[in-house]
Structure 1
Amino acid sequence: MEFLRELVFVVNRNKVKQIELLDLEQKPASKINQFYQAISTEKIKTDEEAKAYLYNKGVTPNAYYNLKARLLKKLLNTIFFIDNNGPKQTDRRIAMHEASKSLAAAQLLMSKGAPIAAVKQFTKLLRVAEKYEFNSIALTAVRALRIHYGARKIDQKKYLLYSKLCDTYQEIDYWENKAVAHYTRIVSGYNDRKQDRKKLQVLCRGFYEELRAKEKSIQSYSFIFYTALIRLMQYTIVDDYISVIPISEELLDVFQNKPFSTSTAIQNFLHHQIVGHLQAGDFEKGLEAGKKSQGLSPEGTSNWFKHQEFHLLLGMQTGRYQEALDVYQTTTNHSQFSLLKEKERENWTLFHAYLTFLQQHGKIVVDESAGKFPAFRMQSFLNKMPTYTQDKEGKNVAVLIINILYLISRRKKNEAIDRIERMEKYCLRYLNKEDNRRAYYFLRLLLSIPSGSFQIDRIEILAEASLQELAKLPSTSSNLFGRMEIIPYEVLWEMIINDLRT
């Protein structure tokens, strides 16, 4: 069902409803259009829900699956008629869409015995591919033109021209593929928790040096982009985002000087800068980079959701809590949000927990007209965080902390004492490391609460040493999305102390 929901979202987002392939106006009550509209309005999200919505009990499953296949076919056909000239479409995206259709048309013409029309199409396509650096499309075009002028309609001059171009694009294609292969090898290793980060960093450096040797001769968008990502990953793979700030600035200059829009690359490098500034504690510069990034990706795309995460975190780190709430409501109420992977949605579940804590302390005011903000239930929250709870040194810390904060603020002393005391071994085992020191000292602060028998004077005496150690460390995390210090620990501690005083 997810692939159907994704296709429906693309069709809706790109105003394809104006096209009559789906018969939305002529046959609004047809079963297939009921199906389409139910997915579009999110009345159904699973096959089981769709069967119950569309058919009475007793109808064979085949009827539903046949309908599903028909809708899929219609949606795929409709994709070719997407309105590609929307206000948020860049010149390169529009060109890629048109070039993909032109390539399919040229290949169909050639296969159907219309070589003259096909060659005209390939020739026109080559000019577009050269302008926008669609090198795989250019390679397909010159191969077709080479065989046409070399073996069908013999033209020695054109044959030699396209033969030479074919060699050129084959080399570019080779190095583009190599850059992508190296990038995916590193990303695959990074996502494997068993992989040693230092060894991956060494591998990354080797890959970059190999690709770097070709940077002057291969200037294509794809090659430079993936080589740049590998260059950055030499640092980000060990959570050093501060070092990538000047490198990202250099890369921004390179891509901003391309003769076409490079918004995907630009936003990627701005995102690296945002994380670097967050890590360095320079939140104002992070906000500045965030403003530059805003609007570079259409709503509902993966880059848009990632930008929204950064925007919310910057708001939380700088005390702009109401702004962070606005970002949360805009994002989680977006029609594409439910299609995010579970791991990506977990971030927003965690944000909801912290925002609710702020709401309970009068730091934000929820306006339901701006979007749903569901009631918070701790057990439901914990059940939704399976990925986090496996991450003992990372995001699980944020889950443990918010759990304890709620217990303290609700005066559940016995439960709070039990949870805090169980954390002592956890601290020693998982957090007594250099890159976890802030989390370690904050959890030591929490341990002072049961040790001080919830008496504010005793707690402040016991907490003094840990508070001083925490103050020595920068109010950042070495791995922003690994540690998730969503709200600075000093701010949280002040809120806890105020809870204990009242």
Structure 2
Amino acid sequence: MNQQLSKLQERLTLEDEAEQRFYEVKLLSIYRIRARQFLMQQLPLHLEHLENLHKKVKSYNTFYYLYVTKLSREEAIGNYQEIIKITADTERDWQQGRINQKRFDKRFNNYMSVYAHLRCRKAVEGLKLAEEYFKDFHYSSGNWFYYLETYFMLAVHARQYEHAFDLLSQARKNPYYGKQRSAAQQRWELYETYLLFVRSETSPLKMRQFAQFVQTVPDYSRDKQGYNVAILILQFLYFLRRRDIEGLLARLEGLRKYEQRHLRDPATLRSQLFFRMLLMTVKENFVPEACEKKTAPLLERLRAAPQPGEAYGEIEIIPYEDLWELTLGILQQLAATQVANEQAAQRSRVM
């Protein structure tokens, strides 16, 4: 019995070591973007250590710490295809009984799979999975809202905007909606504002709410880290659609400053490219043909650019490629309106 106890104590010591390493990674990952980038340099050592501990112990605890740390690393560097593989392998092992089915929460694995499909630009495939897994989340759980956000984003990225409105409505009708943190409720407001912008035929009351939100939300806020680019872009497009030159120039300066201060890392290439495309609309005096021609090389680079990892923070609520198509549509509408106004003025002078 003493020998058995000694082995169990040794096993427990190794599990405690794995747990300590796991929480060290977890604590570093919640800090600001710069700290998370520093963590990327340390993660290979942490993972190697956890791998060795799991080979020695082969317990559920060491498996779990290694599994979550692997997912965290791939998420941080933006390797979402690998996350799809890890979650698929884990699902298979769970089905075959290789993982403790009573202890392992499969909902987390399902969530990570769905989220990886979103970030891997597999929106249609991910949307099917999201619909299938959604029944496993109870509406009273805080995880229900986190999952619904990803489900909502998949619908938007798949351009199923009516479905996205339905999911938004489900979030608002949930009796626990008001108990979310204010930051979470503000994210839902931002999501709704993007949808209203895409579907501009919405009721005048909704459009007034939209205009109020766009004009009052801060250009930059640490509370909205990860969504600052989305806010700046939305404000720019709002003033572009209104052809409010004064407001547009103010947001133009905001875009330039934000790019200089916060988008210098190579991992933020997609945001950098899209900012330049928006700036081109002003340089080309809002002429749609000229804007489309001058931004063609930037658009090709944008399509080829990889999605940034979670360590770099900025979220595309609507893919930049879709937003650029919307921007060109706005420019064409403005050009058509300007031509119609000039023709009307000419007719009035003749009469």
Q: TM-score range by the shorter chain?
A: 0.7 to 0.9
CA contact (8 A) 1:395 1:483 kept: yes
d(CA) in 2 for partners of 1:332, 1:170: 50
Tell me what 2:32 maps to: 193
Determine the C-alpha separation between the residues in 2 that align with 1:414 and 1:268.
47
CA distance change for structure 1 residues 222 and 325 in 2, over 3 Å: closer, same or farther?
A: farther
Identity rate, percent: 22
Letter in 1 for 2:263: L
Tell me which residue corresponds to 2:345: none
Distance 1:164 1:298 in 2: 46
The DSSP-based 3-state class of the residue aligned with 2:174 is coil
1:194 and 1:495, CA in 2 relative to 1: closer, same or farther beyond 3 A? closer
The CA deviation at 1:487 is 1.1
1:205-220 to structure 2, matched below 5 A, reads 205-215=44-54, 218=57, 220=59
Q: Higher mean Cα deviation, 312-321 or 204-213?
A: 204-213
- The structure whose RCO (Cα within 8 Å, separation 6+) is larger is 2
Which structure has the bigger radius of gyration?
A: 1
Q: Hey, what does 1:355 align to over in structure 2?
A: 195
How far does residue 385 in structure 1 lie from its aligned partner after superposition? Answer: 7.5
Q: Alpha-carbon deviation of 1:351?
A: 0.8
1:419 paired to 2:264:
no
SS in 1 for 2:135: coil
Amino acid at match of 2:295: A
The unaligned stretches of length 5 or more in structure 1 are 1-159
Tell me the distance in 2 between the aligned counterparts of 1:383 and 1:425.
14
Q: CA deviation at 1:320?
A: 1.0
* Aligned pair partner of 2:65 in 209, 226, 242: 226
Separation in 2 of the partners of 1:202 and 1:439?
23
What is the deviation of 1:214? 4.1
TM-score (norm: length of structure 1) = 0.57
Q: Partners in 2 of 1:302 and 1:171 — Cα distance? A: 37
2:217 aligns to what? 382
Return the letter of the residue paired with 2:276. Answer: R
Match of 1:204 among 34, 37, 43: 43
Unaligned runs of 5+ in 2: 334-351
CA contact under 8 A between 2:117 and 2:123: conserved in structure 1?
A: yes
Residues 81-115 of structure 1 deviation map (CA, whole Å, 9 limit, x = unaligned)? xxxxxxxxxxxxxxxxxxxxxxxxxxxxxxxxxxx
1:314 Cα offset (Å): 0.6
Q: Which moved further from structure 2: 426-435 or 306-315?
A: 426-435
The answer to whether the 8 A contact 1:346-1:385 is kept is no
Q: Is 1:247 the counterpart of 2:78 in the alignment?
A: no
- State the TM-score, normalized to the length of structure 2: 0.79
Change (3 A) 1:237 1:461: closer
Task: Compare 332-341 and 211-220 and name the one that shifted more.
Answer: 211-220
Compared with structure 1, are the counterparts of its residues 323 and 341 closer, same or farther at alpha carbon in structure 2 (3 Å cutoff)?
Answer: same
Q: What amino acid maps onto 2:26 in structure 1?
A: V
Cα offset, 1:202, TM superposition:
4.7
Corresponding residue for residue 302 of structure 2 = 470
Q: How many angstroms does 1:251 deviate by?
A: 2.0
1:388-427 equivalent positions in 2, closer than 5 A: 388=223, 391=225, 394-427=226-259
Residue 201 and residue 292 in structure 1: after superposition, are their counterparts in 2 closer, same or farther (change >3 A)? farther
User: What is the identity, as a one-letter code, of the residue corresponding to 1:348?
Assistant: W
Q: Deviations over 1:25-70 (max 9, x none)?
A: xxxxxxxxxxxxxxxxxxxxxxxxxxxxxxxxxxxxxxxxxxxxxx
Please tell me whether the aligned partners of residues 270 and 305 of structure 2 are also in contact (alpha carbons under 8 angstroms).
yes
Alignment equivalent of 1:483, drawn from 305, 314, 319: 314
The change in CA–CA distance for 1:309 and 1:164 in structure 2 (over 3 A counts) is farther
- Is 1:336 aligned with 2:185? no
Instruction: Work out whether residues 388 and 395 of structure 1, in 8 Å CA contact, stay in contact via their aligned partners in 2.
Output: no
Are the equivalent residues in 2 in contact too, given 1:200–1:237 (CA < 8 A)?
A: no
Q: Secondary structure at the match of 1:242?
A: helix
Aligned letter for 1:409?
R
Question: What is the CA–CA distance in structure 2 between the aligned matches of 1:220 and 1:374, rounded to whole Å?
Answer: 57
Which amino acid in 1 is paired with 2:209?
A
- In 2, are the aligned partners of 1:274 and 1:286 still within 8 Å (CA)? yes
Aligned alpha-carbon RMSD (Å): 3.5
Task: State the alpha-carbon separation in 1 of the partners of residues 201 and 266 from structure 2.
Answer: 32
Give the match's secondary structure for 2:199.
helix
Tell me the alpha carbon deviations over residues 121-163 of structure 1, each in whole angstroms, 9 at most, x when there is no partner: xxxxxxxxxxxxxxxxxxxxxxxxxxxxxxxxxxxxxxx6xx8
Check the 8 A contact 1:398/1:484 in 2, yes or no: yes
Deviations 1:456-493 (A, max 9, x none): 3443344334334334435x444499221111222222
Secondary structure, counterpart of 1:300 in structure 2: coil
Pairing 1:497–2:328 present: yes
- Contact 2:53–2:62 (Cα < 8 Å) also in 1: no
Q: Is the 8 A contact 2:81 2:116 kept in 1?
A: yes
Q: Which moved more, 1:251-260 or 1:326-335?
A: 251-260
Question: What is the correspondence of 1:99-178 to structure 2 with a 5 Å cutoff?
Answer: 173-178=12-17
Task: Indicate conservation of the 8 Å contact 2:29/2:39, yes or no.
Answer: yes
Q: Deviations over 1:264-310 (max 9, x none)?
A: 2x222233223332333222332243244322232232322221111
Deviations 1:155-199 (A, max 9, x none): xxxxx6xx8887676556544444333222112111222764455
1:323-367 alpha-carbon deviations (Å, 9 max, x no partner): 1111122123322233333443333232122122123156xx99x
2:169 is paired with a residue of what secondary structure? helix
Figure out how many residues of one structure are paired with residues of the other and give that number: 330
CA distance in 2, matches of 1:183, 1:259: 19
For 1:267 and 1:351, how far apart are their aligned partners in 2?
Answer: 24
